[in-house]
Amino acid sequence: MYRDIPEPLRALVEPIVADRGYELVVADVTRGPSGSVVRVVIDTQEGDGRVPIDDCALVSREIETCLDAADVVRPPYTLEVSSPGLDRVLGREKDFVAACGSEVKIETRHAIGGRRRFRGELVAFDAGRARILVDGNPFEIDFADVAKATQVYHFTNADFAKKPKAGRGAPGASGDAAGEARR
pLDDT tens readout for residues 26-79 = 999 999 888 999 999 999 999 888 999 999 999 999 999 999 999 889 889 999
Domains delineated in the chain? 2-85+178-182 (3.30.70.1350), 93-151 (2.30.30.180)
Ramachandran bin of 173, using left for φ above 0, alpha for ψ from -120 to 50, beta for the remaining angles: beta
- pLDDT, position 74: 85
pLDDT digits (tens, 9 = 90+) for 111-131: 998 999 999 999 999 999 999
Please give the model's pTM, rounded to 2 decimal places.
0.79
pLDDT at 91 over 70: yes
Residues 6+ away with beta carbon under 8 Å from 57: 81, 179
